[in-house]
Amino acid sequence: MRHVIIGAGPAGINAAKTIRGMRPDDEIVVISKDKYVHSRCMLHKYISGERNERTVDFADENFFETERIEWKSEVAVTGIDAAGKKIICDKGDMTYDKLLIATGADSVIPPIGAMRAAPNVFGLRNLDDAQKIRGLAANAKKVVIVGAGLVGMDAAYALLELGKTVSVVEMMTCVMAINMDAYAAGAYQKRFEDAGCSFYLGKKVCGTGTSGDLVTSIELESGESLECDMVIVAVGVRPSVGFLAGSGIEVERSVKVDAHLRTNDPDVYAAGDAAGLSGIWPNAVKQGVTAAKNMCGENVTYDDIYALKNTVNFFGLATLSIGINAPEDGDHVEIREDRRNYKRVIMRNKTVKGILLQGDIRYSGFWQHLVKNEINVSDIKKSVFDITYGDFYGVDARGQYEWRVSA
């Protein structure tokens, strides 16, 4: 059996590892247009010089040799012929028995002014982007970052570390609005400002000023003009699925998959950002493992869509969010804070729908369990913040800990 995996991110690498564990004699091929395996979460550390090509690699040392996996780096897949079980690549075609699409996502650069064409405007998705940013940063003084989500803040952090003058423009009124509330976000904004960063929140970019083919300023609808030598655009991503046009594999915005992460073709699976179920690392890992098991004949479903978990850490301040971040009408929000910690819980129908912890982020497994399993906590007569593992006791027939809280 020949398993081919397109993509060497967390979904692809963990799928390859899982298949090897289950099928010692099967052929496994991993294809990537990247030269090196790398963690996208570490790209800011590459830009700031804290890591290099080797130390952003998240796979085990000598992974491909040890696991006997054929590694095809710097190979771009340009098409798939699902009926013929053939992959079309820029460096020759190949066949498969089972295929995993784990191609992640691409940065979106909006068509504003010269943004798409200018050689000093970058997305931040691949090591290749980080290498270009680091290269240009050597001579750049002023950098504008468009977008204050996780990726934009990563970029801002890296460039502040390099001593650049950094301005961040964001449409929302706080930074990292998807990951946390305004209070928790404010703690990061303050730390970034203390490091010299300027924020333009609640503002929209409407144009660019240019000199030759370079963008030299970012224009805001408010009338402000931000001078720059380099721009990083971090306004979102799009699943990397363009090469599937005409392949026979169904695509909407992302690859369409069922609960087994199988596409409309029974021998083709998708996992990670390309499958569009979530856009975070731990879920890409789980999806890669799930798809791999199914490629080896198991019958496993992926059911972790609702327990979204994200950790942020800048300037020594950690924040963890699990579940939803924005309360809806009828939800009950509780907050507890002291000098070092901020906690916010969103309750719905006596269950925890979302938890945000800033400062001390221990016990994430406990909170994840509460959110994912929609545990009814109404019988515990104390603040939800004080519930601990001690409030559930006993073991079930299989020897697993079990919640003794009425449903």
Ligand X SMILES: Cc1cc2nc3c(=O)[nH]c(=O)nc-3n(C[C@H](O)[C@H](O)[C@H](O)COP(=O)(O)OP(=O)(O)OC[C@H]3O[C@@H](n4cnc5c(N)ncnc54)[C@H](O)[C@@H]3O)c2cc1C
Which residues in this chain contact ligand X in the complex, by CB under 6 A? 6-12, 31-34, 40-41, 43, 76-77, 102-105, 124-125, 150-151, 154, 240, 243, 272-274, 279-282, 284, 310
Minimum distance between the CB of residue 75 and ligand X, rounded to whole angstroms?
Answer: 6
CA atoms of 305 and 277, how far apart (whole Å): 7
The least distance separating ligand X from the CB of residue 355, rounded to whole angstroms, comes to: 16
Return the number of the residue (39 or 167) whose C-beta is nearest ligand X. 39
**Smaller CB separation from ligand X, 114 or 371:** 371
Output the smallest distance, CB 91 to ligand X, in A.
Answer: 10
Supply the minimum distance, in Å, between the C-beta of residue 236 and ligand X. Answer: 11
CB of 79 to ligand X, least distance (A): 9
* Residue placing its CB nearer to ligand X in the complex, 56 or 377: 56
Distance CA 142, CA 162 (A): 11
Q: How many CA atoms lie within 13 A of 19 on its CB side?
A: 30
Nearest approach, Cβ of residue 164 and ligand X (Å): 17
Cα–Cα dist 261/294, whole Å: 8
Looking at beta carbons only, is 34 or 219 nearer to ligand X?
34
Q: Which is nearer to ligand X, 41 or 162 (CB)?
A: 41
Give the nearer residue to ligand X in terms of CB position, either 205 or 275.
275
Nearest-approach distance from CB 243 to ligand X, in angstroms: 5
List Cβ neighbours of 371 (8 Å cut-off, separation of 6 or more). 306, 307, 322, 323, 351, 352, 353, 354, 355
- Nearer to ligand X by C-beta: 113 or 123? 123
Torsion angles phi and psi, residue 47, rounded to 5? -60, -40
Q: Among residues 108, 112, 141, 111, which one has the least CA distance to residue 122?
A: 108
User: 343 Cβ partners below 8 Å, 6+ apart?
Assistant: 335, 336, 337, 355, 356, 357, 358, 385
φ and ψ at residue 277, rounded to 5 degrees: -85, -25
* Closer Cβ to ligand X, 82 or 102, answer by number: 102
Q: What is the 3 state secondary structure string of 34-93?
A: CCCCCCHHHHHHHHCCCCCCCCCCCCCCCHHHHCCCEEEECCCEEEEECCCCEEEECCCC
CA max distance for the chain: 72
Query: What residues contact residue 25 under an 8 Å CB cut-off, 6+ apart?
Result: none
